């Protein structure tokens, strides 16, 4: 009596067990001669490895989508190290390792418009999610608008704030590019206070921290916000060519090619 090999027809059983990648690997092993010399243990480890990798990828994509990052494709591997750019591979590799997240250290990414601050922040969100950290990404103006949508007693607002307070990485992009209201500043201070010792906050800004006061009406709140971000922060100063212009040149070259 011939042994009946597993086929694609057996996949519904694995899918029902939520082990689709494992099942696909088992079917491959059963029907591919290159696995004939493998031991049973080797085959099982191979199939389990496929399943674990698939689950890790699904977890990563779920975290990345939940972060709200505007560019889910941004990653440290695609950062360009152009002549004159102050960003180097060693710094990026160290940041991508996310020890700063482990230590709940903040990051302040400074630089003129179009030097790549936002892309670096988005790439670090990607890196953090790959290491199983939760993240939230907002332009500061968008965060202020989102907070204004909710009534103060709204349960949805409390849930929204809890997500900001407890996520491992909170990115505030375009920080204080334009002035914010006193109410928004007070809410921002509460968010930062709640995150102390719980998570890392990443700020990107065109202005140096000592200039943030210009966008805040209350000097006391301004001082508190500055201290809560900068006193426990690594400063990354970006300088170099206009990366939007560089990206346009790359796209046009690709179209020509």
Q: Judge whether residue 178 has pLDDT over 50.
A: yes
Locate the domains of the chain by residue range. Answer: 8-66, 68-249
Q: Judge whether residue 78 has pLDDT over 60.
A: yes
Specify whether the backbone of 68 is left (phi greater than 0), alpha (psi in -120 to 50) or beta. Answer: left
Running DSSP on this structure, what letter comes out for residue 240? S
Q: Judge whether residue 243 has pLDDT over 80.
A: no
The single residue listed with the structure tokens 């709140």 is 221
Structure confidence at residue 13 (pLDDT): 62
Q: Do the Cβ atoms of 30 and 5 come closer than 8 Å?
A: yes
Structure confidence at residue 162 (pLDDT): 94
The single residue listed with the structure tokens 């809890």 is 162
Rounded distance between C-alpha atoms, residue 6 and residue 214, angstroms: 69
Most confident of 30-34, 35-39, 112-116, 120-124: 120-124
Identify the CA nearest to 104 among candidates 164, 160, 170, 59.
Answer: 170
Rounded distance between C-alpha atoms, residue 114 and residue 249, angstroms: 14
Residues 185-196: what's their mean pLDDT?
94
Q: Is residue 7 very low, low, confident or very high in pLDDT (cuts 50, 70, 90)?
A: low
Q: Is residue 245 very low, low, confident or very high in pLDDT (cuts 50, 70, 90)?
A: low
Distant-in-sequence, close-in-space partners of 240: CB < 8 Å, separation ≥ 6: 82, 84, 85, 86, 87, 115, 116
Structure confidence at residue 133 (pLDDT): 98
Q: Do the Cβ atoms of 11 and 27 come closer than 8 Å?
A: yes
What angle (nearest 5°) sits at the alpha carbon of residue 154, between those of residues 148 and 156?
A: 85
Q: Judge whether residue 2 has pLDDT over 50.
A: no
Q: How many CB atoms lie within 10 A of CB 183?
A: 11
Residues 172-198: what's their mean pLDDT?
90
| pLDDT above 70 coverage of the chain, percent | 88
Q: Judge whether residue 54 has pLDDT over 50.
A: yes
Q: Do the Cβ atoms of 103 and 233 come closer than 8 Å?
A: no
Rounded distance between C-alpha atoms, residue 80 and residue 133, angstroms: 25
| pLDDT above 90 coverage of the chain, percent | 48
Structure confidence at residue 18 (pLDDT): 75
Structure confidence at residue 192 (pLDDT): 95
**Span 68-249: which CATH code?**
3.40.50.300
**Tokens describing residue 149:** 């949508």
| DSSP-derived secondary structure for 89-128 | HHHHHHHHTTHHHHTT-EEEEE-STTSSHHHHHHHHHHHH
pLDDT (tens digit per residue) in 126-166: 999 999 999 999 999 999 999 888 777 788 888 999 999 99
What angle (nearest 5°) sits at the alpha carbon of residue 157, between those of residues 118 and 226?
A: 45
Structure confidence at residue 27 (pLDDT): 77
**Tokens describing residue 254:** 């690709």
What is the average pLDDT value for the chain, to the nearest integer?
85
């Amino acid at each position: 009596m011939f042994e009946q090999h597993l086929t694609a027809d057996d996949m519904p059983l694995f899918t029902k067990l939520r082990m689709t990648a494992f099942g696909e690997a088992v079917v491959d092993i059963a029907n591919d001669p290159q696995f004939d010399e493998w031991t049973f243990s080797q085959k099982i480890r191979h199939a389990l490895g496929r399943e674990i990798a698939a689950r890790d990828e699904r977890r990563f994509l779920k975290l990345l989508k939940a972060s709200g990052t505007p560019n889910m494709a941004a990653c440290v591997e695609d950062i360009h190290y152009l002549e004159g750019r102050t960003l180097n591979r060693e710094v990026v590799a160290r940041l991508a390792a996310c020890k700063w997240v482990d230590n709940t250290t903040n990051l302040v990414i400074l630089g003129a418009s179009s030097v790549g601050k936002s892309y670096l922040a988005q790439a670090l969100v990607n890196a953090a999610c790959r290491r199983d950290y939760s993240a939230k990404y907002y332009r500061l103006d968008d965060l202020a608008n989102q907070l204004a949508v909710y009534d103060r007693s709204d349960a949805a607002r409390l849930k929204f704030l809890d997500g900001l307070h407890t996520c491992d990485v909170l990115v505030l992009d375009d920080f204080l590019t334009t002035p914010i209201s006193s109410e928004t500043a007070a809410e921002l201070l509460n968010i930062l206070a709640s995150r102390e010792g719980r998570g890392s906050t990443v700020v990107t800004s065109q202005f140096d921290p000592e200039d943030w006061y210009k966008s805040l009406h209350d000097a006391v709140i301004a001082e508190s916000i500055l201290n809560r971000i900068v006193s426990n922060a690594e400063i990354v100063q970006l300088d170099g060519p206009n990366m939007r212009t560089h990206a346009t040149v790359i796209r046009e070259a690709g179209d020509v090619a």
